[in-house]
A and B are shown apart, each in its own frame.
Chain A
Amino acid sequence: MDRGAIEKRLNDQKDLLTNLISKAKSNGMEQVEIYSSYGYSEDVSLEKNDLNNCTATEENMFGIRVIHEGNQGFLISNHIPSLYTSIEEAYQLAKSQSTPDLDLVLPEVRQLTNQFDTYDSSLDTMGIEDLVSFAKEALGWRSDLYDKINIDSGDFSLSKGYKLIVSSKGVMAHELGAELSASVMGMGVDGDLVGSFDYDSASGFTKDQFQTLWKKAFHNFGDKCMGALYAKPTTGFQGKVLLPPDAVYSFFLGLFIGSLNGTSLRKGKSKMAGKIGEKVASSLLSIWDDPTNKGFMGSTGFDREGMPTTFKKVLTEGVLESYFYNTYEAKKAKLPFSNGCATGGAQSLPGCGPKQLQIAPGNTNKDEFFKLPGKTLFVNRISGTKDGASGDFSGVVKGGYLLEGGEKIPVREVQIVGNAFDALNQIEAIAKEGELIGESSFVPYMLLDGFTITGVMEN
């Protein structure tokens, strides 16, 4: 499957979907939207430090949304010959409801200002043989540099495809994309000692970009697994935690970002309701959403509803500046249209959320965090739970270190408990350095104070 074949498929499908929507309109269905997601991929998987499986998959999923007098039916299918029947079924689902909301409508067309095409044709010369050679190289890194690490699973993927949205309101948008990606998961094992799981991943638009990022990711994975191998239990304490970019992004900030979702706000489930313009976090923290940066993986010119994406400030020096809306939630909030934050794909109804969060770097050199007096817990990863409404989180620290007197002591069986909204004001320092998570979101290291750390040993 090469670029030419994918473009032909896309063009044929635009005609097909346009005709289906015309037919639906002529049969009385005024609001019909079809989101198409086509993907072809070749994969090589690893298991138990060996190659496991080679696969080739191709699928086209369609998410069909029909709105009838304020009620909505949604159907997902991968069967092209029966797409019109699926439109009718979605229509029937809408008609079977009795609780209309006339704010529920498909969006009108808006001009897209950014065109994205992340399909680098150089990937057309690559195939499963190249993925096998990447796998061979990674297994070599393991045996040469990290022979105490067991690769539980890994995956190398070459994927190509497009997304396309067509609606009865005249929305028509598409983007092609292709990428190389890889991930690895495993742990250190030394005799009877087994360390905590860890993982890492990388992706790139081109072979060179991918190989550079993947080598760095694999070595990072290896270092994290080795660091966790000889961990010991420790005592609990009250104090500081140091979060690397992964932990900041996946656990700590997730709850806050979720509370800016238009749906949570409308339903009274968000502590951030009514706080635009208010200071809700430490002045050290500034966040923005930038899906328009063409250098980032995942940047896009349109959202799940075909509306233009935009740069927007979320938090400036601790002051809240914006929420995330799709068309329905924007209408409920009395706004003229969405701010391009409809999330999801063919297999989901439009949600609300950011696309490419960026967190401003701070002024501190991250090495200073590792030399602090007293005890600091370095939280590599949290295996835990969080509650969106209250902001409470708790979990077991994985791959963690106790930083004390210049020493870095690997620890296990340590729990951390806190509240994400309180934690926004517990930020003591932000590092200059950070990482581009998923090659798309810049996140720095953060130091926070005032946490309860529970250890398995008696104090």
Chain B
Amino acid sequence: MRDLLKECLSEESGFVELRYHHKESRSFFAERGRVESTALRKRTGVGVRVLESGTWGFASTSEVTKASIQNAIQIAKKAARLSSALRKDKIPNLPKANFAVGDFIGKGIEDFRSRSVEEKLKMVLDIQNEAAKQSTKLQSVGCGYSEIYEEKAIVTTDGADSFFSLVRPEFRVSAVAKEDGKLESGSHSIGVTGGWDCLFRSQSPSQISEEACKTAVDLLSSELPLGGLSTVILSPSIVGLLVHEAIGHTVEADFVLSGSVAQGKIGHRVGSDLVTLCDSGSSEFYEGAGGTIPVDDEGVIPTNTVIIKNGILSSYLHNRETAERFGVAPTGSARAWEYGDVPLIRMRNTFLLPGDSSLEEMIANTKDGYYLDGAKNGQADATGEFMFAVQKAYRIQNGKITNLLKGVTVSGLAFDVLQNVDMVSKEFKWDLGSGHCGKGQPAKVDAGGPYVRTKVLLGGK
């Protein structure tokens, strides 16, 4: 594929970027004793981006032939020329980058190819059947397995020349419990970049299922917590949501240029000394983080970017264009979801570095607060105000976990929450590898870190 793309570029003089993308997604879902759906999704094509007359032009084609790709290049150039007169802030030449050259074959691909459809169907059906027997209060249990296999080739006129492949499996269980007309849900999911063993490394399918079902049943007897500003200990999945939603989005350089709360804050204190925050294209500490990429969608090798070092904001996340504007090196953060999508600045694996405390010490040192666990969804705003939803809130009183309360929405201002971090645990976990981040396009990301104690606004009664 690299050879075909290079052939298409052989007569081009300006900046042209070709991105071949083949994606296959398989999904299997079982509920109420039967396989409810099986789906296979295949999408292939080439995205063409040009920089002409100081602005971008983009076109795509699902026909992977020289003639069709070269036609798309001409359409993209025409689009750029037509719009150039309007663009005020012309894009200068793009900076040189640490381009990926060669083939990068992901781990776990052969493992997935060798496993049959029947094996995957049997797993979701068996787990679903087993789970439904756990409690008579369970109204419905759904079990799903999915995997995305991708291959990409990225070639540019200024030096990128790579091919890579990877596979991202996910497993999820969702349960609904009922009692006296009350319905409650519980869910648990995992996702990685890598093979089957990597997916079930820390929890087996049965353990994942038990956790989801237990949450649904336990919440039947829970009540809302008291609303207000509260001391909280966040589990790694919630820390993942916090660093992704509250901080990560505000430091994406396109968002910074639009006026996010992180604008002009490089070198400023935005968190306590205990806070060191990174975003990496690799899976730091151990393999399998769900947002791992060997090459970004501009053909750049991703870095481990230190966003906050001991509380001081030190870097934004960049593509080539914003790196030029800020006079820094690209961080390898340009990502596109499909071949027909233009690459955007996106997070990869976002995490807080672990500290010195243990979870036990943190709980024992908390007189009045909550332990929050089970990530649901989250969103952030330009103001740095974020919200995320948790499944479970456990009350902590006098250094001990007491009753389970219904999980609700947690909100705060990103930098205030980081400033209030006063304990960080030694333990570390990637815990946000399932699902997607949305920013016009979806993206597979991961996030996590240690247990963290801070203050947030808890929605409640």
- CB-CB under 8 A from A416, the residues of chain B are 459
Q: Does B444 contact A (CB under 8 A)?
A: no
Contact of A86 among B34, B37, B42, B85 (CB under 8 A): B42
Contact of A136 among B30, B76, B86, B458 (CB under 8 A): B86
In the bound complex, how far is the Cα of B12 from the Cα of A401, in angstroms?
Answer: 55
| Identity of the chain B residue whose Cβ is nearest the Cβ of A54 in the assembled complex | B79
Contact status A415-B459, CB under 8 Å: yes
Contact status B117-A75, CB under 8 Å: no
Contact of B382 among A44, A195, A236, A395 (CB under 8 A): A195
Contact status A128-B121, CB under 8 Å: no
How far apart are B257's CB and chain A's nearest CB, in angstroms? 5
* Binary A-proximity of B384-403 (CB < 8 A = 1, otherwise 0): 11010100000000000000
How far apart are A201's CB and chain B's nearest CB, in angstroms? 13
Contact status B43-A196, CB under 8 Å: no
A40-60 interface (Cβ within 8 A of B):
42, 44-45, 47-48, 50-60
In the bound complex, how far is the Cα of B82 from the Cα of A153, in angstroms?
Answer: 20
| Identity of the chain A residue whose Cβ is nearest the Cβ of B413 in the assembled complex | A413
In the bound complex, how far is the Cα of B61 from the Cα of A132, in angstroms?
Answer: 23
- CB-CB under 8 A from B136, the residues of chain A are none
| Identity of the chain A residue whose Cβ is nearest the Cβ of B72 in the assembled complex | A56
How far apart are B192's CB and chain A's nearest CB, in angstroms? 24
Contact status B83-A51, CB under 8 Å: yes
How far apart are B250's CB and chain A's nearest CB, in angstroms? 10
Contact status A196-B42, CB under 8 Å: no
In the bound complex, how far is the Cα of B181 from the Cα of A51, in angstroms?
Answer: 54
Given A383-B381, A389-B183, A413-B385, residue A54 in contact with residue B44 (CB < 8 A): no
In the bound complex, how far is the Cα of B185 from the Cα of A383, in angstroms?
Answer: 20
Contact status B178-A268, CB under 8 Å: yes
Contact status A236-B227, CB under 8 Å: yes
Among the 9-residue stretches A12-20, A186-194, A427-435, the one with 4 or more Cβ atoms under 8 Å from chain B is: A186-194
A352-388 interface (Cβ within 8 A of B):
383-385, 387-388
Contact status B39-A76, CB under 8 Å: yes
Q: Does A79 contact B (CB under 8 A)?
A: yes
Q: How many residues of B contact A (CB 8 A)?
A: 82
Q: Does B298 contact A (CB under 8 A)?
A: no
In the bound complex, how far is the Cα of B413 from the Cα of A153, in angstroms?
Answer: 23
How far apart are B259's CB and chain A's nearest CB, in angstroms? 4
| Identity of the chain A residue whose Cβ is nearest the Cβ of B89 in the assembled complex | A50
In the bound complex, how far is the Cα of B396 from the Cα of A175, in angstroms?
Answer: 59
Contact status B57-A55, CB under 8 Å: yes
- CB-CB under 8 A from B383, the residues of chain A are 187, 194-196, 412
Contact status B42-A129, CB under 8 Å: no
Contact status A79-B382, CB under 8 Å: no
* Binary A-proximity of B10-38 (CB < 8 A = 1, otherwise 0): 00000000000000000000111111011
Given A132-B86, A197-B381, residue A53 in contact with residue B56 (CB < 8 A): yes
How far apart are A321's CB and chain B's nearest CB, in angstroms? 22
Q: Does B429 contact A (CB under 8 A)?
A: no
Q: Does B168 contact A (CB under 8 A)?
A: no
How far apart are B227's CB and chain A's nearest CB, in angstroms? 4
Given A99-B125, A269-B183, residue A385 in contact with residue B376 (CB < 8 A): yes
Contact status A74-B38, CB under 8 Å: yes
Contact status B59-A56, CB under 8 Å: yes
A79-128 interface (Cβ within 8 A of B):
79, 86, 89-90, 92-94, 96-101, 128
Contact status A390-B385, CB under 8 Å: no
B66-88 interface (Cβ within 8 A of A):
75-76, 79-80, 82-83, 85-88
- CB-CB under 8 A from A286, the residues of chain B are none
Contact status B409-A196, CB under 8 Å: no
Q: Does A408 contact B (CB under 8 A)?
A: no
How far apart are B408's CB and chain A's nearest CB, in angstroms? 5
In the bound complex, how far is the Cα of B458 from the Cα of A415, in angstroms?
Answer: 8
How far apart are A400's CB and chain B's nearest CB, in angstroms? 12
Given A96-B118, A384-B389, A396-B385, residue A454 in contact with residue B59 (CB < 8 A): no
| Identity of the chain B residue whose Cβ is nearest the Cβ of A392 in the assembled complex | B406
